[in-house]
């Protein structure tokens, strides 16, 4: 079994090759703090003890690959040179599945490192089957049939609902570890697997320090958002907007002239655009965008260039709610300068709810706490609501007031976080939060009255539990509509949106 281990540091470059049943020669290890090291371990498919594939899609991949079907497994060992957090990446392509993405799970040393590694989802890519929109019998544009795109891509191991800001991290001690990957659904072409030392994305200022290039001049590239090169979710589709602020526009016929809106709200749903820049240098990226689905609510998009998040600020780009179409430049009043090489580049735009993740998880936990406390109360009362019967619940649950206040305090902290993200705007999400908190505080004033006020606690449409349950999808969904994407020189701005 061949394991290729590359250790690269600013001062040292070392290549380790381990052969099973052969003598192993290792260079002297470089002891550096993980934050200062750049450790990458590549395990090629020849190490998987699985027949190599000759599938036609492997012709587009320069390395060996295996074809895995449901319940197939591969395993390998790797020597970790330094204790720390590692991310795990997979070179994959999906040859067969169309609607349901392949899924797998990963064990390290015979156990799941976390619950998230029990379900790893791999993307399927789709593309239009033709370039122009077909017309119906009334002359209106209709959707283009989607076809699967077999595309090799390096995929990080992420949580199943794509709500975390970074790929999953696995804590590994220095030394040898055994990894086992099992495909649990569909089929997958698997190339190399990579173990890479975790490092946060650089800040924008750090990015500029390592990308010192001149600004381009006079370049503006306009891309219609409704015509992505490919995407990973068929639910993200072109829509028709009758506003004069979007193009193309027709007075009499419907034109599919924008993308997304309410249909592009699931975290992890991404669209990709290919464009060609004429020269190396710095560019700006702007969007003609509209977010009018959620009033006073900020949604987020993760921006990648050639499958990479270039710096931290692009990991969750905010788009505030608007009533009209408007041009939004990455970086706002101080636009980000992004280095691009001449030739074809791929811009990825992915919906993400990662800024709301902490609040979402807190709500899920508080719902469990409310449910547990509700069941405990019902066990005492026999699940009978008698308005004329007095209960002294505090005799049986002495800390019930403290439990209620703890739930309310946690929710208030989350409310402050969500309010700060949305600049304190009076959104439906914030109102729902406050109503749930008010219910909890009302019950905490006299816990003995909870049995006759379960409709404010865990039962009914206005209960704290129902309000929090309604709040979850409001925070999870991230709708946004796009009309155009502009890649342009700093001195060449898109025309202002005319309404």
Q: What is the pLDDT of residue 54?
A: 94
Residue 19: what pLDDT? 30
Tokens of 362: 């807190």
- pLDDT value, residue 236: 98
Mean pLDDT of 474-495: 97
CA dihedral 419, 420, 421, 422 (to 10 degrees): 50
DSSP-assigned letters across all residues of 202-260: PPHHHHHHH---PBP-S-EEEEETTS-SEES-TT--EEE---TTSSS--SSS--EEEEE
What φ, ψ does residue 146 adopt, rounded to 5°?
-90, 140
Residue 423's pLDDT band, with cuts at 50, 70 and 90, is confident
- The band of 11, judged by pLDDT with boundaries at 50, 70 and 90, is very low
- Residue 375 pLDDT class (50, 70, 90 cuts): very high
User: Which of 310-314, 344-348, 414-418 is least confident?
Assistant: 414-418
Answer whether residue 15 shows pLDDT above 70: no
156 forms bridges with which residues in the sheet? Answer: 89
Mean pLDDT, to the nearest integer, of 17-24?
A: 31
What CATH number should be reported for the domain whose range is 2-197?
A: 2.60.120.260
Whether the CB-CB separation of 447 and 393 falls below 8 Å is answered with: yes
What proportion of the chain, given as a percentage, has pLDDT over 70? Answer: 91
Determine the pLDDT at residue 18: 33
**Is residue 96 pLDDT above 90, yes or no?**
no
Locate tokens 């379960």: which residue?
454
What average pLDDT does this structure show over 311-339?
97
Alpha-carbon distances of 278 from 216, 283, 303, 487, 495, rounded to whole Å:
9, 11, 21, 11, 21
pLDDT at site 395 = 87
- Decide if pLDDT at 183 tops 50: yes
Angstrom distances, CA of residue 118 to CA of 158, 166, 476: 11, 17, 22
Indicate if the pLDDT at residue 25 is higher than 70.
no
**Candidate from 18-22, 154-158, 337-341, 455-459 with smallest mean pLDDT:** 18-22
Predicted pLDDT of residue 21: 31
- Whether the per-residue pLDDT at 98 is higher than 60: the answer is yes
Half-sphere exposure of 430 (CA within 13 A, CB side): 18
Q: What is the mean pLDDT of residues 473-485?
A: 97
| Token reading at 45 | 């498919």
Q: pLDDT value at position 3?
A: 40
Is 204-353+478-488 CATH 2.60.120.260? yes
89, 196 contact by CB (below 8 A): yes
- Tokens found for residue 252: 């009499």
Q: Quick one: DSSP state of residue 308? A: B
d(CA 472, CA 411): 13
pLDDT of residue 336: 99
* pLDDT of 292 higher than 80: yes
pLDDT of residue 4 exceeding 70, the answer is no
By the 8 A CB rule, do 467 and 477 touch? no
pLDDT attached to residue 388: 67
For residues 188 and 200, what is the distance between their CA atoms, to the nearest angstrom?
Answer: 29
Report the pLDDT value the prediction gives residue 385, as an integer from 0 to 100: 67
Lowest mean pLDDT among 91-105, 267-281, 317-331, 373-387: 373-387
Joined tokens for residue 214: 């001149």
Q: Determine the Cα angle at 53 with ends 50 and 57, to 5°.
A: 145
Please check whether residue 348 is in contact with residue 332, taking contact to mean a CB–CB distance below 8 angstroms.
no
CA distance 300 to 330: 12
pLDDT reading at 390 higher than 80: no
Q: Strand, helix or coil at 421?
A: helix
Q: Does the reported pTM lie above 0.85?
A: yes
More confident residue, 14 or 155: 155
- 303 touches 349 (CB < 8 A): yes
pLDDT at 99: 85
Region 111-137 average pLDDT:
97
Q: Which of 309, 318, 298 is nearest to 204 (CA)?
A: 309
Average pLDDT for residues 58-69, to the nearest whole number? 97
- Return mean pLDDT, the chain: 90
Q: Count the residues in the chain.
A: 499
Indicate whether 12 pLDDT > 80.
no
What confidence category does residue 28 fall into, taking pLDDT thresholds of 50, 70 and 90?
very low
What element of type H or E holds 121? strand 120-121
CB 66 within 8 A of CB 45: yes
Query: Residue 488's pLDDT is what?
Result: 99
**Residues 95, 222 contacting (CB under 8 angstroms):** no
Question: Picking from 103-117, 224-238, 445-459, which range would have the lowest pLDDT averaged per residue?
Answer: 445-459
Residue 485 CB contacts under 8 Å (≥ 6 apart), including other chains: 222, 223, 225, 273, 285, 286, 287, 288, 347
pLDDT per residue as tens digits for the range 31-62: 334 434 589 999 999 999 899 999 999 999 99
The answer to whether 257 and 249 have CB atoms below 8 angstroms apart is yes
Answer whether residue 273 shows pLDDT above 80.
yes
More confident residue, 463 or 23: 463
């Amino acid at each position: 079994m061949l394991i290729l281990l590359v250790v690269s540091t600013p001062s040292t470059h070392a290549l380790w090759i381990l052969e099973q049943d052969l003598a192993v020669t290792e260079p002297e290890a470089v002891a550096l703090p993980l934050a200062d090291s750049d450790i990458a371990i590549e395990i090629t498919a020849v190490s998987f003890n699985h027949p190599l594939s000759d599938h036609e899609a492997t012709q587009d991949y320069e390395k060996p690959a295996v074809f895995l079907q449901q319940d197939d497994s591969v395993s390998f060992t790797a020597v970790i040179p330094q204790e720390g957090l590692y991310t795990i990446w997979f070179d994959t392509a999906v040859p067969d599945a169309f609607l349901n993405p392949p899924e797998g799970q990963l064990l390290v040393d015979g156990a799941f490192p976390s619950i998230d590694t029990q379900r790893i989802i791999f993307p399927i890519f789709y593309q239009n089957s033709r370039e122009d929109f077909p017309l119906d019998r009334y002359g209106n544009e209709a959707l283009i049939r989607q076809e699967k795109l077999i595309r090799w891509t390096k995929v990080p191991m992420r949580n199943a609902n794509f709500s975390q800001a970074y790929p999953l991290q696995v804590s590994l001690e220095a030394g040898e570890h055994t990894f086992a990957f099992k495909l649990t659904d569909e089929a997958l072409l698997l190339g190399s697997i990579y173990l890479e030392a975790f490092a946060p994305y650089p800040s924008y200022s750090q990015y500029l320090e390592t990308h010192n290039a001149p600004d381009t001049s006079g370049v503006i590239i306009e891309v219609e958002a409704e015509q992505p090169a490919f995407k990973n979710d068929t639910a993200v589709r072109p829509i028709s907007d009758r506003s004069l602020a979007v193009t193309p526009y027709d007075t009499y016929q419907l034109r599919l002239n924008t993308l997304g809106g309410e249909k592009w709200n699931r975290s992890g749903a991404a669209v990709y655009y290919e464009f060609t820049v004429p020269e190396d240098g710095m560019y700006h990226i702007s969007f003609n965008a509209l977010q009018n689905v959620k009033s006073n609510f900020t949604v987020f998009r993760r921006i990648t260039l050639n499958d990479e998040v270039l710096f931290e600020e692009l990991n969750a780009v905010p788009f505030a709610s608007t009533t009209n179409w408007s041009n939004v430049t990455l970086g706002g009043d101080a636009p980000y300068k992004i280095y691009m090489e001449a030739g074809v580049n791929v811009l990825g735009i992915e919906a993400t709810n990662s800024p709301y993740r902490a609040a979402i998880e807190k709500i899920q936990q508080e719902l469990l706490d409310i449910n547990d406390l509700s069941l405990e109360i019902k066990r005492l009362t026999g699940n009978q609501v008698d308005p004329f019967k007095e209960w002294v619940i505090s005799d049986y649950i002495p800390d019930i007031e403290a439990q209620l206040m703890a739930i309310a305090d946690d929710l208030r902290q989350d409310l402050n976080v969500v309010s700060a993200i949305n600049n304190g705007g009076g959104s439906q999400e914030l109102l729902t939060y406050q109503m749930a908190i008010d219910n909890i505080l009302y019950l905490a004033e006299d816990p003995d009255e909870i049995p006759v006020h379960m409709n404010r606690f865990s039962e009914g449409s206005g209960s704290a539990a129902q309000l929090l349950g309604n709040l979850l999808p409001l925070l999870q969904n991230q709708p946004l509509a796009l009309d155009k994407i502009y890649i342009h020189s700093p001195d060449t701005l898109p025309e202002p949106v005319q309404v």
